[in-house]
Structure 1
Amino acid sequence: MKKTVAILFAFIIAQFQAQQGPYYQQSVKYKMDIDVNAEKFTYQGKQTLEYTNNSPDELNVVYFHLYWNAFKPNSMMDQRVAGQGKNGDSRLQKDGISRLASIPKDQEGAQNIHWIKQNGKDLKFEVQETIMKVYLAEPIKPKSSTTFTMDWDAVIPQQIRRSGRNNREGVDMTMTQWYPKIAEYDYDGWATFDYIGREFHAPFSDFDVNIKINKDYVIGAGGTLENPSEVKGYDAGAKIKAEKNKATWKWTAKNILDFAWAADRDYIVKSFDVPQGPKVFLVYQNNEKTKVWEQAQPYITKYYQLMNAHFGKYIYPSYAFIQGGDGGMEYGMCTMILGEAKDIEGLMGLMAHEGSHSWYQQMLATNESVRPWMDEGFTSYAEDYVMNQLFPPKEPLPNPFAEKVNAYRNFVKKGIEEPASWLGDHHDNGTAYTYASYIKGELYLVELGYIMGEQNLAETLKQYYDQWAMKHPSDRDFLHIAQNVSGMDLKWFQNYWINTTKTIDYGIKDVKYDAKSTTVTLINNGQVPMPVDFSIITKDRKMVSYQIPVNLTHTWKEKDVYGDFKTMPYWPWTQKEYTLTIPYSKDQLSVLGIDFSQRLADVNMENNFVEVP
């Protein structure tokens, strides 16, 4: 009887774990040999890929991304840009017409797969635009590994979006998402979204990459250069080792999502070490347009020190800021950014944003195609947090995020907002995508700080990093930590803020003064319930604050860096109005209002403050 009960109990536990989806992540090791024809902007590629299936599932097919297949007329990316017209990404169009439609035939992107084998056996495969489906010769069983080998050639596309040849600043090659890249497989299945122009997702991988290219080129990449004394630009005493006028660059990287590089004859390379941080490489064309880069070192050093202290330690040995691409885009251990900058603050704003992706796109590798708000939004939060300290505003703001709150407030008035929960490539309006992913994603954290207190938010971000760095967390994982740290129920807020476009709108409806007190009636004109921080400033310049919790959290904010609060009875979310009486008469009051910290993303500020005559 006891044995039967034990077996039954084990069965029930196993079923529960299966339903919950026990955490795992796949393991990938790439070894590549690349031969670049710089004159024709093509390359030949050979690749060996060791794939370990750590999932509980048997895999009968695998998928690869062939991103460059998007850069040609009538591709899905071209169709999407044409369909959106002037509402789409301005970098992909000119006067509302897709730039992809006019790419010359010899500059179309192409990744031509010659063959792929599994453990030496030829495999059948289908190329479906930017996705390659591969039928396996033998299933990959759970907890087992297999080896793929493949041979392909590629045409480096005209630079339209992120990748490509001859960007607008004259960089010869921006090589990003440039190789057949195996897709991520997790509890949600294969991550096989077509590339339409937005974001990426991939398993953590190790890379061993040999790039053979004309010896006059300098390469910047996200990784470790293993032979700096044999190539141009990294070692002043280098003796370039060339064969048939080509040098071979040997790069390695461990546990990153992708390997990216760029090449140009005019690059210079500068490097420095951040104390307790990475070795930083600046790879750029040294000319009048890039002279601001000379000022960057002390700011980058302080940037990493601030990020390491507040958001978790950058774990990789190096990071490269590389001139290339079409704006700014993050990759493993590097970013591609345009080189021209008006001033050091503008350059550092771009560097801080792209660098912060190392936390929320790389180390905390959420699926940014599905939840772009977790990557772009959290990254933007880190960017503003750090930039506020690197370049303190001339006129102090109530908080580092006040400008973003105000930008959101103004955007909502346009009536084109789309929910942050939409898939990255499926937003109908380019500006709406930006606000859903960057702004609302950032304000998700700002509003959480308002609801549960900044100390609790900082602890949540720290624990999020500690528990989930080098994994693939979801919003559910982050929310679980936030609720544990704060003791609050926060599911309601996430649902409103991420899944809807409903707005916050509280106001002061009425104020009545008595001989020894003042009675204030507040009103909720919005659709999103929130706690209310109500404050007064007295005639003798003292501030007194009251916290009116919303009953949905069931636990109230105990402290906040913006001051101490006297906690009032909660405001039921179903109740339209709320009245409180404070022990101050009219002649004692100067100003009273809602949220002096200006973190609350209230869409109508006109009725939030009252100056007492």
Structure 2
Amino acid sequence: MKRIHFYILAFLFIGANLATAQENQDDKKPQGHINQNKFRQLYQEFSTPNMYRTASGAPGSAYYQQQADYEMDIELDDKTQKLYGVETITYTNNSPDDLDYLWVQLDQNVRAKNSQASLKNGGRIPRLQRTSTFVKSYVADPFDGGFNIDYVRDDRGKPLSFTINETMMRIDLPETLEAGDKVSFTIKWWYNVNNHVTNRARSGYEHFAKDGNNAYVIAQFFPRMAVYNDVEGWQNYQFWGNGEFALPFGNYKVNITVPADHILDATGKLQNRKSVFSKKMMQRYDQALESYDKPVIIVTQEEAAAAEKDFSNKKKTWKFYAENVRDFAFATSRKFIWDMQAVDINGKKVMAVSMYPKEGNPLWEEYSTKAVASTLETYSKHTFDYPYHKAISVHAKNQGMEYPMICWNYGRPSEDGTYSERTKFGMISVIIHEVGHNFFPMIVNSDERQWGWMDEGLDTFMQYLSEQEFAKEYPESVASTGGKYPSRRGEASKIVPYMKGSQSRLSPIMSNPENVHQLGPNAYGKPATGLNILRETIMGKEAFDHAFKTYSQRWMFKHPSPEDFFRTMEDASGIDLDWFWRGWFYTTDYVDIGIESVEKYQVASRESKNGGFVYFVGEDDERYKKDNEGQAILSMEQNVPLKEYLMDNFSEQERASMKNPKYFYEVKFNKPGGLVMPIIVECTYEDGTTEMMKYPVQIWRKNDNSAKIVISSSKAIKTLQLDPKLETADIDTSNNAWPSEEGNTDFKKFKENKVKQ
């Protein structure tokens, strides 16, 4: 194939003339189009900044949030598995708006017999189905777990009008709640507690048939105020089961009555420890307050096993007070082993706590509290110091759920106490993840009902960092994996199977959790991976970490929106990321960048009356061979016109520091995928040395289909490898090598090594 080569100075003029001639030949004027450039600003997607939320991503001067304070008396009937409660809510209207009614969430109604949530997915007849699933679907009566509201009364004891709409209850106020005022009202209720193992729910109980005991993990157990803010007004989107919770902050005073032989812990500070602890437990607790290197057992396995045999008819009330939290949850059972360890968070003492039945040992006693402590340290380093006084990990089969200061986590050994590495790492990972949720969304209080990724994705990203830190802190735990923690999510290559899947089953991250096919990859994996790519590949760790910490600290104990996060990350880093947010979060585009061609050139010189010219000769051009034989290749020692030019224009010191390239390669990249990414190329030279080259994402800004680079070198190139560390989630690596994969033994070895890793 022949190519025409122009003098460098002529390129611009000839190109411009050809374009003008072509336009003159057209009968019609060029058609206009809207801006589809991947680097256009996100003005159309973003809301207009205002006094509540600024363009920088920070809370504005008029930012407000409501407050809901609770006083509750709760009683658990272990014999009938019923929960009874009466609560008084004091609601403060800090908004500039007058309110005629209030919205209260009744999340337990998702398990009411007449709940619409069970019908949301339609149905089909499967050819093969588990017996338990068949019985649940077609034979057994549906469990009736909805709230039973006895009354709603004002602070004078008079009935208030209320309307229940599925999982939401509207309370009509007799008088308008004006801006700045507060109102108090009381709700009395009860419900049947579900078996969370058979009914798969975020809370409930597990029944242990061998000893007849129950272990309770109780949440969403009381009518909770909905959020009212400047973004949504009332956030009264129904709870369908996937989108989680949007809640205001407040103070909680909660009294919980359970059987006297139960062990219980909850959100908040225990107010009557001496009356519910034995003397032996108090002594151990005092030891735990000073133990920073290992957990102290408060209730031993032997003591828990003995308690399992007796079923006390007496009652005991545990009293808690929690300040500035968005929710409340508790766990209780006579089966629980209990341990605690002190953690130093920049001079503040925080207690890492674990509660688990003997069925969790020996795994839980070995790793749970270690994972809690390590998580608090890593998250605090990257965000803000953990503000609460404790963090609790509770063992519960098939669970992974989070609440302020307390969470439920799975990971159970076999009956003989043995466990696989998969079980061990699964347990450690879920503990890190759920404890990490204290930061997102329990403190950085995003709207989970609308934007699942804002807590799950950010938390999964932080989980990845924390898992790596855990491996460094406890190297013996990763001895079987070569010293590396086997993180399930975070690395770019892990999201590739999802992103290369059928577009009919993909949704943008910016979708409501109820409306996506694959919630795990969509709300957890892809956002976490995107943040990891930003940190490792695009922004750099220093810029990313500063911006991420800025966002976390700006919005702790507040209600951020997605735009607040996007804007803060740019504002605090000075890096334009609109192209990334649009592609990664607002579309289902994928990354696929390939090496289309590599052309090798040599450079010769030619004298003229007006001086010297340099021209490139391609290796398929006849002159390439002739010039090569004639020693006309660019070399300051051999090419007289070039040498004289350099000598005439540069000093001896300047010439000494100049490169002396002998080889020139024009590399063309194509982009079958829709997402733009930086171009990262590893160049291997014939002498065996390598060089990493990175080109910014802006290389695609004027041509979304292809981009070219020129590599000049004193050494000949043997191979080129695109994205050698798999940093960009490229879904097809078969076009990432030159020479092509088929004939490139180095590339085959590279792929084999990646598979092993």
Q: Name the TM-score, length of structure 1 as normaliser.
A: 0.85
Q: Which residue of 2 aligns with 1:608?
A: 736
CA distance in 2, matches of 1:408, 1:16: 36
Residues 1:335 and 2:378 aligned together: no
Displacement after TM superposition at 1:573 (Å): 4.7
Q: Which residue of 2 aligns with 1:295?
A: 366
Aligned pair in 2 of structure 1 residues 234, 534: CA closer, same or farther (>3 Å)? Answer: farther
Q: Which residue of 2 aligns with 1:559?
A: none
1:211-290 matches, cutoff 5 A: 211-231=256-276, 236=281, 245-276=314-345, 278-287=350-359, 289-290=360-361
Amino acid at match of 2:452: P
CA distance in 1, matches of 2:412, 2:707: 53
Partner of 2:707, secondary structure, is strand
Q: Which residue of 1 aligns with 2:206?
A: 166
| 1:448–1:457 Cα contact (<8 Å) kept | yes
Amino acid at match of 1:112: N
Q: Which residue of 1 aligns with 2:436?
A: 356
Q: Which residue of 1 aligns with 2:711?
A: 582
**Residue ranges of structure 2 left out of the alignment (5+ in a row):** 1-48, 55-59, 284-306, 414-418, 473-477, 603-662, 746-757
Partner of 1:363, secondary structure, is coil
Residues 1:64 and 2:104 aligned together: yes
Partner of 2:465, secondary structure, is helix
Structure 1 window deviating more from structure 2 (253-262 vs 341-350): it is 341-350
Residues 1:502 and 2:600 aligned together: no
Give per-residue Cα distances to partners, 1:426-475, cap 9 Å, x unaligned: 22x2xx21111011111221232222222211111111112111111111
Displacement after TM superposition at 1:326 (Å): 3.5
Residues 1:305 and 2:381 aligned together: no
Q: Which residue of 2 aligns with 1:79?
A: 119
CA distance in 1, matches of 2:125, 2:355: 35
Displacement after TM superposition at 1:96 (Å): 6.7
Give per-residue Cα distances to partners, 1:482-538, cap 9 Å, x unaligned: 112332322232122112111121111112234512221111111122332333244
CA distance in 2, matches of 1:362, 1:338: 20
Q: Which residue of 2 aligns with 1:110?
A: 146
CA distance in 2, matches of 1:447, 1:235: 51
Q: Which residue of 1 aligns with 2:452?
A: 372
CA distance in 2, matches of 1:446, 1:58: 43
| 1:270–1:281 Cα contact (<8 Å) kept | yes
Amino acid at match of 1:549: P
Displacement after TM superposition at 1:367 (Å): 0.6
Amino acid at match of 2:281: A
Aligned pair in 2 of structure 1 residues 176, 213: CA closer, same or farther (>3 Å)? Answer: same
1:406-421 matches, cutoff 5 A: 406-415=493-502, 416-421=505-510
Q: Which residue of 2 aligns with 1:481?
A: 568
CA distance in 1, matches of 2:409, 2:489: 26
Partner of 1:278, secondary structure, is strand
Partner of 1:29, secondary structure, is strand
Give per-residue Cα distances to partners, 1:582-612, cap 9 Å, x unaligned: 1236x64354233334221221112123367
CA distance in 2, matches of 1:52, 1:388: 43
Displacement after TM superposition at 1:119 (Å): 3.1
Give per-residue Cα distances to partners, 1:368-411, cap 9 Å, x unaligned: 12111121111111111111232267468899788642232112
| 2:113–2:145 Cα contact (<8 Å) kept | no
CA distance in 2, matches of 1:307, 1:155: 37
Amino acid at match of 1:388: Q
| 1:167–1:324 Cα contact (<8 Å) kept | no
Q: Which residue of 1 aligns with 2:530?
A: 444
Displacement after TM superposition at 1:175 (Å): 0.9
CA distance in 1, matches of 2:124, 2:542: 43
Partner of 2:189, secondary structure, is strand
Structure 1 window deviating more from structure 2 (246-255 vs 305-314): it is 305-314
Partner of 1:44, secondary structure, is strand
Q: How many residues align?
A: 568
CA distance in 1, matches of 2:53, 2:573: 27
Residues 1:197 and 2:286 aligned together: no
1:151-190 matches, cutoff 5 A: 151-159=188-196, 160=199, 161-166=201-206, 171-187=214-230, 188-190=232-234
Q: Which residue of 2 aligns with 1:527?
A: 674
Give per-residue Cα distances to partners, 1:256-282, cap 9 Å, x unaligned: 121111221111211111122520111
Identity %: 25
Q: Which residue of 2 aligns with 1:134?
A: 171
Residues 1:37 and 2:89 aligned together: no
Aligned pair in 2 of structure 1 residues 378, 17: CA closer, same or farther (>3 Å)? Answer: closer
Aligned pair in 2 of structure 1 residues 575, 350: CA closer, same or farther (>3 Å)? Answer: closer
| 1:68–1:157 Cα contact (<8 Å) kept | no
CA distance in 1, matches of 2:207, 2:406: 18
Structure 1 window deviating more from structure 2 (46-55 vs 107-116): it is 107-116
Amino acid at match of 2:526: K
| 1:85–1:97 Cα contact (<8 Å) kept | no
CA distance in 2, matches of 1:541, 1:136: 79
Partner of 2:584, secondary structure, is helix
CA distance in 1, matches of 2:406, 2:702: 46
Which residue among 470, 482, 485 is the counterpart of 1:390? 470
Displacement after TM superposition at 1:284 (Å): 1.0
Q: Name the TM-score, length of structure 2 as normaliser.
A: 0.70
CA distance in 1, matches of 2:386, 2:96: 31
Partner of 1:25, secondary structure, is coil
What is the Cα-based RMSD across aligned positions, in Å? 3.1
Aligned pair in 2 of structure 1 residues 538, 437: CA closer, same or farther (>3 Å)? Answer: same
CA distance in 1, matches of 2:386, 2:208: 31
CA distance in 1, matches of 2:686, 2:314: 80
Amino acid at match of 1:607: N
| 1:108–1:158 Cα contact (<8 Å) kept | no
| 1:529–1:573 Cα contact (<8 Å) kept | no
Displacement after TM superposition at 1:197 (Å): 1.6
Residues 1:345 and 2:390 aligned together: no
| 2:443–2:557 Cα contact (<8 Å) kept | yes
| 1:312–1:462 Cα contact (<8 Å) kept | yes
Aligned pair in 2 of structure 1 residues 388, 542: CA closer, same or farther (>3 Å)? Answer: farther
CA distance in 2, matches of 1:474, 1:168: 42
Displacement after TM superposition at 1:541 (Å): 5.8
CA distance in 2, matches of 1:146, 1:235: 44
Give per-residue Cα distances to partners, 1:529-581, cap 9 Å, x unaligned: 23323332445665433332333xxxxxxxxxxxxxxxxxx332534221111
CA distance in 2, matches of 1:48, 1:508: 66
Displacement after TM superposition at 1:292 (Å): 0.8
| 1:506–1:523 Cα contact (<8 Å) kept | yes
Residues 1:144 and 2:144 aligned together: no
Aligned pair in 2 of structure 1 residues 98, 510: CA closer, same or farther (>3 Å)? Answer: farther
1:456-471 matches, cutoff 5 A: 456-471=543-558
**Residue ranges of structure 1 left out of the alignment (5+ in a row):** 1-14, 552-569
Structure 1 window deviating more from structure 2 (304-313 vs 49-58): it is 304-313
Aligned pair in 2 of structure 1 residues 299, 152: CA closer, same or farther (>3 Å)? Answer: closer
CA distance in 1, matches of 2:385, 2:81: 38
Structure 1 window deviating more from structure 2 (588-597 vs 158-167): it is 588-597
| 2:464–2:490 Cα contact (<8 Å) kept | no
Residues 1:319 and 2:391 aligned together: yes
CA distance in 2, matches of 1:404, 1:98: 40
Partner of 1:172, secondary structure, is strand
Aligned pair in 2 of structure 1 residues 245, 461: CA closer, same or farther (>3 Å)? Answer: same
Displacement after TM superposition at 1:76 (Å): 2.0
Q: Which residue of 1 aligns with 2:615?
A: none
